[in-house]
Amino acid sequence: MTAQMIAKIAAFALYLGFMIYIGLKNAKRNNSSSDFFLGGRKVGPWVTALSAEASDSSAWLLMGLPGLCYLGGIKETFWTAIGLIAGTYLNWLFLAKPLRRCTIAFGDSITIPEFLTNRFKDKTHLLSLISVLFIVLFFTIYTASGFVACAKLFNSVFGLPYHAGLAIGLIVILSYTIMGGYFAVCTTDFLQGVLIFSAFVISSVFAICALGGPSEAFAKAAEFSGKALQGEFGEEMLTKFTENKHFSASSVVSALAWGLGYFGMPHIIVRFMGIRSEEELTKARRIGTTWMIISYIGTFLIGTLGTAYLLPKVLSGAAAETVFSETMLKMYPAFIAGIFLCAILAASMSTADSQLLSAASAVSRDLYKGIIKKDADEKSVLNIGRITVLAIAAVAFVLSLNPSSSIFGLVSYAWAGFGATFGPLVLLALFWRGMTNKGAIAGLAAGGITVVLWHNMSGGIFSIYEILPGFSACLLFSVIVSLLDKNKDPEMLAEFDKYKEISKNK
C-alpha cells in the first residue's frame, strides 16, 4: 500500500469516525419521539440553515450536476441552479414562519403527515396513510441515490469494488442516524455543509489559477467543447455535447420547475419546524441562500473547468459523475484530497440520513401510533422508527446494486415525487381557509400518481419534467374537490381563524 493511499484512508477514517462519534454523543438526548424526530424544536439558525441546505443538496450537487456540466450540459446546469436557488429563497421566505407556527397550533405536529391530518381533521386517517406510502416510496428512491454516490466515490478514490463501497456508506449512515436522531443528523449536516462549501470555494479558485486565470481557463474549457463536438473524444461524448447544445425552451421550463420541489420536501421543511424560535428564521434564510448561491457557482466551475483541467484524461458515460473526485485527486496532496473528497461523502450522508429520519417519523408516528396502535408509548414509537430506518435503508441498498445507476436520474424522480404530492398541500394548508380533507386526499393522490405515470412515459410532451404536471394536478384536484366539498367543519374553520389571528399579531 502506497503512502498516498494510506493518507487518503486516514482522512476518510477520521471523518467517518467523527460522524459516528456525533451519533453516540447525541444518543442520550433522545428522551421522546419529539426529540428523536424534531430535536424538541431547540435547534439554532446556523445549524438549521446549513443542515437544511446540506440535506437538500445531496451528492448530486458534487457528482450529478458537475457530471452533467462536464458533458456539455452548461445550459441545463445553469437553469436548474436558477430554479433551485429561487425555490430555496421563496421556501424560506413564505413557508418557514407560517409552517412552524401552524404545526404548533394544530396539535404540535412534528411530521408533515401528522400536520396534514390535524389541519384537516382527517378521522379516517386516509390522508395520513397515503402520505406515508408516498413518503416511503420516494424516500427509498432518494436514499438509493446517496448510496450510489458513496459507492462511486469509494470506487474512484480507493479502487474498492462498487458493492463494497455501497456497504461502507450504508453502515456509517445507519450508525449515527439510528443512535443520534434529529440532533445528530442536524449536527452532522451542519459540519457537512461547511465542508461542502469549503471544498467548492477553495477548489474553484485553485482550478482557475492552475489553468492560467479566468480568461484562459474558460477559453480552454471552450476548446474542449469544440473538440468534443467534432468527435475527437469519441462518439458518446459527441452525442452528449450535441444533445446539450440544442437545449430547448421546454427544457428551460423543466429545469426551472425544480424550484417547485422545495415546498414539499419533508426532510427540508421539517428544519423550519425544528428551529428554536421563528425570529431566527430570517437569519437562517440569509445563511442558507448565500450557501446555495456560492455552492452552485462552485458546481458550475468544477464541472466546466474539469474538462480542461483533467486532460489528457477524459471521462465519459457514468464516469463523468466522478469529475469532482478526479479533480480533487489531481489537485491536492493525498491527505488534503481525502478531506475534500469527504465532501462528496458528506453530501450523500447529509441527504440520506435526513430522508431516513423523515421516513421513519412518518411510519412510526403517523402509521404505527396514528393508526395501528394509538396508545403506543414513546419507547415503542422510537423503536419502530429505528426499525423503519433499517428497513428503508435495506430496500434502498437493493435499488443501489446496479453500478450504472444515475445519481441525477434517481434524485430527479424522487424530487418530483415530493414536490408534486406535498408542495401544493402544504401551501394550501397554510394559506387557504377553504381547503378540505377530501380536497387534500384527492390532490395528494393525483399528484403522486401523475408523477409515477409521467416518469414512465417518453417522447413529445412527456419530455417535460414530471414535477410540473404532477404539481399542477395536485393543485387542481385539491382546489376543485375542496370547492365542491365546501368546508363546513366549524371546528376546523375556528382553529384556522385562530391561527391566522395569532399570525397577524406576531
Q: Give the contacts of 420 (CB within 8 A, at least 6 positions apart).
A: 260, 264, 447, 448, 450, 451, 466, 467, 469, 470, 471, 473, 474
Question: How confident is the model over 237-274, as pLDDT tens digits?
Answer: 888 888 877 778 888 898 899 999 999 988 788 888 87
Q: Which residue type does 51 have?
A: S
Q: Which amino acid is at 177?
A: T
Residues 166, 147: Cα–Cα separation, whole Å = 6
Q: How many CB atoms lie within 10 A of CB 41?
A: 18
d(CA 285, CA 282): 5
- Cβ atoms of 281 and 99 within 8 Å: the answer is no
Q: Can you read off the three cell numbers belonging to residue 471? A: 404539481
Check pLDDT > 90 for residue 473.
Answer: yes
* 275: DSSP letter: B
Express each pLDDT in 410-449 by its tens digit.
888 989 999 999 999 999 999 999 999 999 999 999 999 9
| pLDDT confidence of residue 441 | 95
Q: What is the pLDDT of residues 475-485, one digit of tens each?
A: 999 999 999 98
Instruction: Report d(CA 375, CA 379) in Å as an integer.
Output: 12
Kindly report whether the peptide bond that precedes residue 266 is cis, defined as omega within 30 degrees of 0: no
Distances (CA, A) of 49 to 63, 274, 285, 348: 22, 11, 7, 18
Q: Which residues, at least 6 apart from 42, have a Cβ–Cβ distance to it below 8 Å? A: 274, 276
All domains in the chain, ordered by first residue: 3-408 (1.20.1730.10)
* Burial grade of 449 (CB within 10 A; 0-12, 13-18, 19 or more): middle
Q: Which residues contact 308 (CB under 8 A, 6 or more apart)?
A: 211, 217, 220, 221, 223, 224
Q: What is the pLDDT of residues 131-164, one digit of tens each?
A: 888 988 888 888 887 788 788 878 877 888 888 8
Of 344, 184, 359, 176, the closest CA to residue 267 belongs to 359
Amino acid found at 143: T
Question: pTM above the 0.85 mark?
Answer: no
Average pLDDT in the 493-499 region? 84
Torsion of CA 439, 419, 104, 98, to 10 degrees: -90
